[in-house]
Each structure stands twice: as structure tokens, then as C-alpha cells.
Chain A
Amino acid sequence: MRADVRYGIDDSPVFVIDQSRCIGCEACVQACMECGTHRGQSLIHLERIDRAATTQTAPMVCMHCEDPTCAQVCPADAIKQTEGGIVQSALKPRCIGCSNCVLACPFGVPKYMAEIDQMMKCDMCTDRTSEGLKPMCASVCPSEALWYGTIDEVRENRTGSLLRDFMFGRQEVRTKVYTVVDDLAAGPIDVMRGQAASWLDDPFELESGGT
């Protein structure tokens, strides 16, 4: 995929995150710093899932919830959503640095920056996506764990089905960003339940004694 593709409004590109594809190269972490709306600050998370057991990593960008918990729990009413569904970083004049959003976000996305007493989060590279460009992270991800393109391109180039519904306990959350599943019929991703770890660190089960 070319990084300099420019999409038009009618293309309706979508952001897709597939954590299972992450190879931990950290290109996204570096690229995130180049985002014009928060230059020098990397706001993407690259999580080491279980450091003792595996090298597996997983990225996390803002999923841009349709009804964002972060915005609802913000006492300063500082988190706004654009008409296109992008949940923006806290408005700087308003954010009073309480960290409610950091603690309430079901995806663990907002970051509290103690130095400037502000919350900051991914805004899907508004400077780029508003001009039809791919977000920085999606433009550099070599394994397409972070991906941006049209639905037609999804069909042509990717496997799996797109899903944007999640369950956190009894709370269902629908997001603007899609994830990938094989079994769409199984419904939303149940985050508190689906805990089966399947690492590729030992693909032939040599260390675990397999034959």
C-alpha cells in the first residue's frame, strides 16, 4: 500500500486495527510523533501483552467511540467530537487535568501529561485525514496491524471481517475505528471474557514439548 494515497470524501476511508498482526517494530510509535496536531509527542500505545511469557506486542490507538465515555466523564466538557465522529484531544483552555478520562476510557487510550497538566490523545491525525491522507501510524505499519483505506480496499487486500462493537462487562461500545474478526456472527468482542493467549513465540511447540 502506498503511503501518499489521497482519499476523497466519497471514498469514506476507514481505520482498521488488528492487534494480532503487530510485530513490535515501533514504527507507529515514532511516526505518531510526526502528527501535526501533537508534534513531538507519541500518543499511540504499544503494549507488551505478557512480558514474562512472550515478546508479543499490540498497538492501541483511540477507537473514537460513538458515545465516548471519556467525554461524558470530563468535568470540564473539554473533549469534543467532530461531525465526522473523531473524538478530539482535550481542548487546551478547558482541560483541568483531573485524569477522569484516562481512568474511564474502556480502551485505556488517553494520556495524562503531568508536565503540561493536560490530557492528550490520538485524534486520528486530523491534520492528515482531513486532507484525505492516511494517519501517520497507518502509513508506516509494515504488518498492516494499523491500516487505513476504503471498504473496497479491505475486500481486495485483507482477510477477516470488520467489526466495531465491543463489550466491556455489560457495556456495549460502538466505535468509528474497526477491528478484525474471523467470526462476525459471534457478535461484539467481549473484552472481559476473551482471554485465550496464543503466542507465536514457539510456533512448532518445540519448547513446550510438542511433537
Chain B
Amino acid sequence: MIPHRHDAAALDRRGVAWGLVGVAVTLAITFIGSDGLLWFDAALIGYLFGIIFMVFGVIYRYSVWVRRPSTAMLNRRGWDAFRQRKAHNAAALPSLVATQLLAQGFIRRRSRARWLAHQLVFWGCILAGLITFPLTMGLLHFESVGQQGDRYQVFVSRVGTMSFDADSVLGWTIYHGLDIAAVLVLAGVFIFLRRRLRDPGALAVERSGDFLALAGLFAVAVTGLFLTVSSIWLEGRFYAALNTLHALTVILGLMYIPFGKLFHIFQRPGNLGVAYYKRANAEGPAAVCRRCGDEFASVQQVADLQAILPQLGFDYDAADGAGSYQDTCPKCRRAQLALAQSARVGGFG
């Protein structure tokens, strides 16, 4: 297995501290946003526990991850590159977010089915999060308008916003927002499952987390839909049990986020930093291969790597002290290896 460069067993103090700050901020938002817990629904306390655990876990892991030598370097360089041309880069940000993080065209170029599945799961989860998190934290509630009970107003904390008729299309959509999210997620999960179960290549490189993430999303979506089924078609039968089951799947799902495959949600935005880093490097000087003299990368990235490698315990400097092997382009590395190997068997042929 890949050796860890740091003591993996010890709890990271800085990670714990940042995690606790995150928990405190979440609790403060809940307290203030729910108007001193006035609009906090005590029935959702289990969900709040799940959110708090998730916040702590995600911040803890992020804090540890972002301080790995290579991650820290890229994080620093990404921000450096952003600040170099702040106005220009800020203007480019919406388009980068739209293409890289939201539209995810890089997945579409890999496979349309995968892209469709990911988009369905992605937007389903976003929709579910936008509804569940504010509801759980008491930031969002509904009040009836007048005495008829057929018209409701949406309140964000204390602020009244739009109102709608309960029987209108908008009303139906709002009440069934989580059902819509569940259908989107389920559709995506089935496409992913189909591929995972039928593609021998995907099965071969399967990691336990791949199925677990899909199983978790499936469980949350299906148990959530059962609640609607119970209230609409079963006259509320089994609701209490289904409600507990759904809460359990959601809470376990939230607790899984920091540890499992879904943590990529928080790592992926690093791709924006890479985009800025690459753009800045493309405008800078190019590194020249010590063997063939061709340009093969940016001076900046090669220098950054050579700064990281000793921190990771690697020493690619030439034995005679004349430069570094890392100044060789990948093509010449392959050629050099072939020459060195052939020399040990009496030449080619």
C-alpha cells in the first residue's frame, strides 16, 4: 500500500479546531435563522445531528487534505494565479463554474450515459439539499395566509417571501420538491448501476465505496418516496415507521459524506484552481528537457514539483549533483530507461 507520509492514527488538532468552528457556525446559523429556535422543528433534531456531524467531518477531512504537500502547493498556486489578474479571473469565474462544476462537460466527453446519470444525481441532490438543510435548520417555514388554509407564504427566517395557492402547480411543485429530487436521483442511480453491473471493466476497478454511495442514494430516495406513498395512497399507514427509516438513511448518508466517495463534491472545485494555475503557467516560461532540449511543461510547475518531492521523501537529484532527473521530459525518461535496460542485456535485439 502507498506509505503515508504523516502519522495517520493521530487526530489532527487543526482539523478538529476548524471542524468545531464549523459546528459552532452551523449552530449559530440555526439559532439565529430560526428566530431563537421559534421556527426550529424539534421533530427534525435527528437530521440536525446528521448535518452537524457532516459539517465537522467534511471540514476536518478538508483541513487535513488541503495541507498535504502537493495539495497545499496547488492551493497556494491556484490563488496566486487568481490574484495575478484578479479582475480578469473573477470575470472568468462564472463561466468556469458553469462549465466545469455545473454542466460537467468533461464527463459528457467520456460518456453521455455517465454524464446524464451524474447530472440527474447532481441536480437531485442539489435540490434536496436546498430544501432539506434550510428546513432542518429552521431557516425556512410556511405560514397560511388568511383563514382559508388554501394559501401559504414562504418565510426565510423572519422574512416573508412569495405566497402560493396550495392547489396550484407551484404549490404542488413546492410540496413535492423532495419527491422530484428523489425521482431524479433514482433515475441517475439506475443508469449508474446498470453500467456498474454490466461493464466488466467498471466491475474490475470497483471500489467498495462505489456501490455504497449508490446504495445510500437509493435508500434515501426510496424511503423518502415511501413517505409520499403512505400519505397519499395508504392513508398515512406505516408513516411513523417509514419516517424513522427515512430519517435513519438520511442521517447515515450525511455521516457518510466526509468519509466516502461523495467527498469528491468538496474536492472537485480544486479543478478551478488548476484551470487558473494552468492558464498562468501557459503564459510563463516553458521548462526545457535536459536531454532533448524540447519544451515539455511550465518552469513554474516543474519547480513546484521539485519543491514538493523532498517533502515527500523523494530525491531525484543527479548523483553527481548536476541537476535533477525531474528536468527530463516524459518521452526522454522512457527512452533513457530503454537505453539503460538494453545496455544491461548487451544491447537491443
Identify the A interface with B (CB < 8 A).
18-22, 35-39, 45, 47, 49-50, 56, 58, 60, 67-69, 71-77, 80-81, 83, 88-89, 91-94, 96-100, 102-109, 115-118, 123, 126-127, 130, 160, 166-171, 179-183, 186, 189-200, 203
Contacts and interface: CB of A to CB of B under 8 A. Distances in A.
Interface of B: 1-3, 5, 65, 68, 70-71, 73-75, 106-107, 109-110, 199-205, 207, 261, 264, 267-268, 270-271, 273-274, 277-278, 296-297, 301-302, 305, 308-309, 312, 314-319, 324-326, 329-349
Contacts of A179: 341
A92 B318 CA distance: 34
B343 A198 contact: yes
Given A80-B2, A189-B340, A35 B326 contact: no
A69 B332 CA distance: 18
A190 B340 CA distance: 7
A198 B1 CA distance: 38
A76 B267 contact: yes
A interface majority secondary structure: loop
B interface majority secondary structure: helix
B206 to A, nearest CB: 10
A169 B2 contact: no
A150 B340 CA distance: 25
A108 to B, nearest CB: 3
A114 to B, nearest CB: 10
24 contacts: A18-B345, A22-B338, A35-B201, A71-B2, A72-B312, A73-B309, A75-B73, A76-B270, A91-B264, A94-B268, A97-B271, A103-B297, A108-B333, A117-B271, A169-B316, A169-B325, A171-B315, A189-B341, A191-B340, A194-B344, A196-B343, A198-B342, A198-B343, A199-B349
Contact of B347 (A35, A80, A198): A198
A108 B318 CA distance: 17
A171 B316 contact: yes
B325 A103 contact: no
A187 to B, nearest CB: 10
B345 A126 contact: no
A38 B305 contact: no
